[in-house]
Chains A and B, each alone.
Chain A
């Protein structure tokens, strides 16, 4: 019960009541904190990338595109083994979290 009150208070205090109320199982928000943590693995190669590089920039790309491409590496329909290796262990929730993070995140460097 204590946890319940604290969790609700956090959301209300932050002013996200509307977002919380709107959430359903079908529209569950991506876990941005998780996305940010997982993104540190991506940044090793993509952190300084330009759009035209062999390793492309992934900051600011749409969530849909991000998820489609990463899932294509995961199921090996895209070829690069480095990305197949990285994507291979990402769950759908992981990919959604990463996609949500990179869609809005600014480059860290």
Chain B
């Protein structure tokens, strides 16, 4: 029998089995006891891995998802909540369908990882053993990256870059503004979660001001970067919908961000001091604490991974997905995390059940709303290459696109949101 014939026999077997089984990847013979997958973090990077391994192994892998929150509010689409296009409940999702997906939920904080013993320690001291571990804690904020800023200062000058109470605080402050009040955003340096996010948020600020009839208010964006994602189309949109309202300053204009003073509401740059009623400080970021404590990060503060599998380059039993990982050309986004999670899940399922593996492929698309029915997007495909996750193709919205196309983009983004939250949370 030739190799080709052998492959075809396997294909036929697989094709026909598909009509008989809910999963194609259940192992024919299980070893003693189920192999154990533990996932830390119930966001797009973690919950997706948990669901896919449970589903694709048809129960052959014991899957546990550790997530302290009972309800997860998505960072993606939280700007639409800021702009009044979504309510908070519509971006908040429970884990009640995880059990049905075959995932055991543990609502606890993972306090530490003993890589030698292959155990996760929970906040109450109990241990959860694993054969494979996925670490998907998302980001932590580097509060000290902006002088004068701190966790306490975030109660006055919210970052709102992690979902939940911070986002609600930002909206409360935004809605309390009076005409003529100044908004200042301190934008983050690369790399950070959701590259177009700060600029979509600024658009939503401007939309709220416009809706309230505030004609004297202004928004200043102090950016440590010389350029930003989808810059051309964002700026075109700002000029079209909010002329004269948004002033974006690159480092050449502001000369450097010297710090903030939460007590006075001041933001100090090399050339000016701004006193604002709403200051949104988005500091630099790093991988979540548990990844750092476990030694999975490098000097960048994020976790190096193998592009063919999302496996940590530090520990072969651990995978890192989502914003905590160094994903090469991929941005830190929910779409990207969900895509990485599927590569990790496929690899884990293949390793733990000795079943078939496939080449890694990744994709991302990010939609951003500038104004009602004016939505832009950027996207790309990626594959392992040159020792990283490498972009192989891509696109970005262009200036001067029709209103119909932008409206279609918005509808598409809403459909995508419905799709991805169902994919992540069940």
Q: Is B10 an interface residue (CB 8 A)?
A: yes
Contact check, B19 vs A104: say whether CB atoms are below 8 A apart.
yes
Chain B residues in 8 Å Cβ range of A49: 415, 418-419
A49–B363 CA distance with the chains assembled, in angstroms: 19
Chain B residues in 8 Å Cβ range of A3: 1, 6
Contact check, A45 vs B395: say whether CB atoms are below 8 A apart.
no
| B134–chain A nearest beta-carbon distance, Å | 16
A8–B2 CA distance with the chains assembled, in angstroms: 12
Contact check, A11 vs B14: say whether CB atoms are below 8 A apart.
no
> Which of under 10, 10 to 19, 20 to 34, or 35 or more describes the interface residues of A?
35 or more
Contact check, A85 vs B419: say whether CB atoms are below 8 A apart.
no
Contact check, A54 vs B420: say whether CB atoms are below 8 A apart.
no
A38–B14 CA distance with the chains assembled, in angstroms: 15
Chain B residues in 8 Å Cβ range of A14: 13, 16-17
| A42–chain B nearest beta-carbon distance, Å | 9
Mark interface residues in A5-20 (1 if CB within 8 Å of B CB, else 0): 0011011001010011
Known interface pairs A28-B8, A55-B412; A36-B18 also in contact (CB < 8 Å)? yes
Chain B residues in 8 Å Cβ range of A82: 365, 377, 379, 395, 412
Chain B, range 319-348, C-beta contacts under 8 Å to A = 335, 338-339, 342, 346
Instruction: Give 21 A-B contacts (CB < 8 Å), ordered by A residue.
Output: A4-B1, A4-B6, A7-B10, A29-B15, A32-B18, A43-B419, A43-B423, A47-B422, A48-B421, A48-B422, A49-B415, A49-B418, A54-B411, A55-B416, A55-B419, A81-B379, A82-B379, A85-B365, A85-B381, A85-B395, A88-B381
A residues contacting B by CB (< 8 A) are 3-4, 7-8, 10-11, 14, 16, 19-20, 23, 28-34, 36-38, 40-41, 43-49, 53-55, 80-82, 84-86, 88-89, 100-101, 104-105, 108-109
Extra contacts, 10 of them, besides A34-B358, A85-B379, A89-B361 (Cβ < 8 A), are: A3-B6, A4-B1, A11-B12, A40-B342, A40-B346, A54-B412, A81-B377, A82-B379, A85-B365, A85-B380
